[in-house]
Chain A
Amino acid sequence: MAQRVVVDPITRIEGHFRIEAEMDDNNVIRRAYSSGTMVRGIEIIMRDRDPRDAWAIAQRTCGVCTTVHSFASIRAVEDALDIRIPRNANLIRNIMIAQQFIHDHVMHFYHLHALDWVDVVAALKADPKETSRVARSLSSWPKTSPAYFASIQNKVKEIVASGQLTIFADGYWGHPAYKLPPEIDLLAVVHYLEALDAQRDFVKIHTVFGGKNPHPNFLVGGVPFPIDLTSDKALNADTLAIIQDAIEKMHTFVYQVYLPDLLAIAPYYKEYTKLGEGLGNFLSWGEFPVDDIRNVDSYLVPRGAILNRDLSTIHAVDPRDMGQVQEFVKHSWYDYTVGDDVGLHPWEGETDLHYTGPKPPYEHLDIKEKYSWLKSPRWEGHPMEVGPLARMLILYASGNTQAKALVERTLKTLDAPVEALFSTLGRTAARGLESAIYVNAMRGWYNDLIENIKTGDYTIVNTEKWEPTTWPTHAKGVGTTEAPRGSLGHWAVIDNGKITNYQQVVPTTWNASPEDQKGQGGAYERSLERTKIAIPDQPLEILRTIHSFDPCMACAVHMVDANHKTLGTTTVMPSIVVQLFSKANRPTKPILTIGDFQRK
């Protein structure tokens, strides 16, 4: 009979998340249910506050993608108050957003996702000489001597022998679904540790511009770190050198470690090019404007939607269009005044918290009723996937030359058709591939910043509308961004200088949403169907697919109204874009320096 596996907590993600999956007699998942199990109530905390402060509160929605909520928030306020930011500020923001992408993706791959594919204990069986040979065949990354691999292997041996396995304790080591040769296991374990060190240098961009990371500082109207080449308290030659150094370190790491590892591991898991697809519907708000966020056509990553895997059509989306996005609560612990069968556009949304789940401690959720703190956002009625795969597909479908080359290279390595992209592995690969695009673009923005500063333009902020006396009594705005995990939008209403309504629709709400009133599950739920679980109490296969989305539950569940009052909510979408390489977005070096990428 149908057996239900429960995985709670799903670890190596941000936040608190549970999967219940029903399997048939052959341990194949028939139906899965995903539930967010934590709420804080950030939107209500936001009410009645100074809109210039909103970025800081919004930022704390998530400490992993620590900047993305600030950007969405600042853009929403700047949209509402019609504030145009200076060129320097836009370039600096692009660099900061891209840094977030690279940092997040590298850490996701090595520290949150790799252990689904890499058997740490099996690495002990590796021949370090062979690992060294493999490593050298993949890349020109310098740390590849047999002695180096042997020393780390010994270190892992001692940890295992000590019986105190620390974070590696009780992993599913030895599980038959681990398929890598021990030499590649060892390579990946070593890079797990190296990535942990390397990422510390990546974040220095945020530290220079925002004073710290996680949670750097921002400013409505621009950026807070002044520019003055003659001052030691501002962005000058010394601090610019830190930025450039960090960009170069990221570039090297992505091309010499991340991409080669990805392509070394992927061929052993080709069955995951046929599993974990999910919906086949994809949405991207788009990101990286050349000058002004309002100039949607200038974005490096286009805005648009793809339906039913059809890469020939990119549908226009508009976040201001009240008709495009609705949120449903049929299976979410909220009440709507209009009942559970009607969706509400976020600007008219309600957030009336009403837990009807089982009393803790509980074994199972009641999946026929409400079972999650996440709502179900839908675009024109469709559940949508957001994130790296959505962005890469939209880049690819819109003809971005870098994206095309990277995708084709990857498919060739895997000897797989384009349909292979719609899968767990496709999602994991897309994350690496888009990192390559953004790390190239960062060099371009850095050079543009230097050029602009050289003209004597030190402007970092537009203060015309800093004082609340300059604001209209009523204003509303929307701010969109692409977070590493997917499309993020904040909607703000400002009355008499204070926020009166604030709504966030975040990537993981799209991806991890429960079923809607039509019984359509979200991307996570659908992606698990047809997956066979070899050992039901070691559900490695579930982790692989869920981690391929890079869940962030703190982001996903943020709306609470303790007084059961109505809060508005959100929405979606703008137009389609094809123009990709406007000047500022164009990398300064040849686009495809695949360089070490799979060097033979």
Chain B
Amino acid sequence: MESNGRSLVEKSLIARGISRRDFFKYCALVAGTLALPTSYGLRVAEALEKKSERLPVIWLELQDCAGCSESFTRAAKPSAADVVLDLISLNYHETLMATAGTQAEKLREDTIKVGGYLVIVEGAIPSSEGDIYCTIGGKTAEQILHDTVKNAVAVVSVGSCSSFGGLPKTYPNPTGAKRVMDLVKDKPILNLPGCPVNAVNITATLVHFLTFGKLPAIDDKLHRPLFAYGSLIHNNCPRRGHFNRGKFVREWGDEGHKKGWCLYKMGCKGPVTFSNCPLVKWNDSVSWPIGSGHGCIGCTEPDFWDHPLYLPVKIQEVSPPAFYPAVGVETEKPIDATSVAVTGAIAGAILGAVGAAAVTKNRHSKDGNGQSSGES
């Protein structure tokens, strides 16, 4: 669509008062989020400018709260409008689409027929009692998911519900909720957990896909992209210095709380949670949970809901020095200010694996339901 020598993207940006320079800036920023050198910004810009057809996308909302869709609308660089008008053709999205009913369902079916589209899934998939806990257009969520991914190039789960089952799957999982990975076996799947997912990670993933023609690198267990979930919050937390020196908030509103000391003793899950929150922050980088005085609740980890919010997690040592226990081994070692607590070189579900077991065990010891993730 190169008319008048200008690309679709460029014209659209100009129409909305965004200069070419700003466009390059945002491309560099996305490159940064993707943990690529800023020089890749140029490559991103070139790729986006060359697109004459927008990538068709079907966004399914299943057992969801629409929080991830809302989060997507908070995207800044590129914004949700940039994405929807310039980068992709969002052919189906219940909350945003103009049309409804049969016409809406037909749009989904037509997109499937043509193929070559990306599927984004928000929400878990219920699967007990004949799947009647979530129907759309008279069809079950599971059937819709299967039909929709049929000709897809890849599937991106946004939020913890589609990635890991999230809140619906929390003990006692009343509706038998499942995650996308339980049901879709023959497509590349990328999980962007978070409750909700941070918009920055959706747009970066889309831009990566458009630039390089493939999904970003993921870890093989939980399928989370390394650029966003490659390191522990605790390892990038500005309060880490306080942690190391044993300066903890001990009561809400105390001096330490006012001065921004470590929230570990107030239940912060940063030591067991993989996310780029401290680096990209939220809503135009205005703040992020720990920055606003509340501990991390661990929302990017499987089964995080089974951890009481204000109970400190057990710290485990996963890498050097050599005399520390091996990966995933729970220790009773009390936290001590000088210990090098956790190094997050390995992307795995520490919270789901060990911490959750500690908590859920006493809460729901009778059955295996709602126990830690099967991942670990």
**Closest chain A residue to B74, Cβ basis:** A200
Digitize A194-218: 1 where CB-to-B-CB distance is under 8 Å, 0 elsewhere.
0011011001101111111111111
Out of A11, A61, A208, name the residue touching B65 (CB < 8 Å).
A61
Binds B, one of A308-316, A322-330, A358-366, A380-388: A358-366
Check B97 against A215 for contact (C-beta < 8 Å).
no
- B residues less than 8 Å from A61 (CB atoms): 65
Query: Count the A residues whose beta carbon is within 8 Å of the partner chain — how many?
Result: 110
In addition to A7-B100, A217-B292, A562-B175, 19 A-B residue pairs with Cβ atoms within 8 Å of each other are: A16-B94, A41-B175, A53-B310, A63-B71, A158-B12, A165-B89, A167-B90, A167-B96, A169-B97, A193-B16, A207-B292, A211-B290, A222-B253, A224-B292, A224-B293, A225-B294, A231-B260, A360-B132, A560-B175
- B residues less than 8 Å from A158 (CB atoms): 1, 8, 11-12
Check B172 against A222 for contact (C-beta < 8 Å).
no
User: Does A248 sit at the interface, judged by CB under 8 A?
Assistant: no
Binds B, one of A43-51, A439-447, A484-492: A43-51
The CA of A460 and the CA of B132, in the complex, are separated in Å by 45
User: Does B129 sit at the interface, judged by CB under 8 A?
Assistant: yes
Check A225 against B292 for contact (C-beta < 8 Å).
yes
Out of A12, A211, A231, A363, name the residue touching B96 (CB < 8 Å).
A12
Query: Count the B residues whose beta carbon is within 8 Å of the partner chain — how many?
Result: 105
Can you show 9 pairs from A to B with CB atoms below 8 A apart?
A18-B138, A168-B98, A204-B283, A207-B282, A207-B286, A225-B293, A226-B253, A362-B138, A460-B253
Known: A45-B174, A159-B85. Is A63-B99 also a contact (CB below 8 A)?
A: no
Binds A, one of B102-110, B312-320, B344-352: B102-110
Check A63 against B196 for contact (C-beta < 8 Å).
yes
The CA of A232 and the CA of B258, in the complex, are separated in Å by 9
Check B15 against A155 for contact (C-beta < 8 Å).
yes
- B residues less than 8 Å from A217 (CB atoms): 289, 292, 294, 297
Check B289 against A211 for contact (C-beta < 8 Å).
yes
The 6 closest A-B pairs by CB, nearest first: A63-B67, A233-B260, A41-B174, A171-B98, A211-B289, A211-B292
Check B168 against A151 for contact (C-beta < 8 Å).
no
By secondary structure, the A interface counts as loop
- A residues less than 8 Å from B308 (CB atoms): 49-50, 53
- A residues less than 8 Å from B259 (CB atoms): 228, 231, 233-234
The CA of A359 and the CA of B258, in the complex, are separated in Å by 57
The CA of A168 and the CA of B54, in the complex, are separated in Å by 14
Q: Within A37-66, which residues are at the interface with B (CB < 8 Å)?
A: 37-42, 44-45, 48-50, 52-53, 56-57, 60-64, 66
User: Does B84 sit at the interface, judged by CB under 8 A?
Assistant: yes
User: Does A181 sit at the interface, judged by CB under 8 A?
Assistant: no
User: Does A280 sit at the interface, judged by CB under 8 A?
Assistant: no
- A residues less than 8 Å from B23 (CB atoms): none
Which of B129, B166, B258: most chain A Cβ within 10 A?
Answer: B258
Q: Within B132-182, which residues are at the interface with A (CB < 8 Å)?
A: 132-141, 143, 166-168, 170-177
Which of A11, A200, A219, A361: most chain B Cβ within 10 A?
Answer: A11
Known: A115-B98, A242-B286. Is A360-B252 also a contact (CB below 8 A)?
A: no
Digitize B104-141: 1 where CB-to-A-CB distance is under 8 Å, 0 elsewhere.
11110000000000000000001011111111111111
- B residues less than 8 Å from A154 (CB atoms): 11, 15
Check B258 against A233 for contact (C-beta < 8 Å).
yes
The CA of A168 and the CA of B94, in the complex, are separated in Å by 12
User: Does B358 sit at the interface, judged by CB under 8 A?
Assistant: no
Check A200 against B98 for contact (C-beta < 8 Å).
no
Check B134 against A45 for contact (C-beta < 8 Å).
no
User: Does B361 sit at the interface, judged by CB under 8 A?
Assistant: no
- B residues less than 8 Å from A363 (CB atoms): 138
CB distance from A62 to the nearest CB of B (A): 5
- B residues less than 8 Å from A45 (CB atoms): 167, 170-172, 174, 305
Digitize B67-105: 1 where CB-to-A-CB distance is under 8 Å, 0 elsewhere.
111110110100111001100111101111111111111
Check B292 against A209 for contact (C-beta < 8 Å).
yes
User: Does B288 sit at the interface, judged by CB under 8 A?
Assistant: yes
Check B81 against A193 for contact (C-beta < 8 Å).
yes
Check B101 against A166 for contact (C-beta < 8 Å).
no
User: Does B309 sit at the interface, judged by CB under 8 A?
Assistant: yes
Out of A49, A170, A200, A222, name the residue touching B284 (CB < 8 Å).
A200
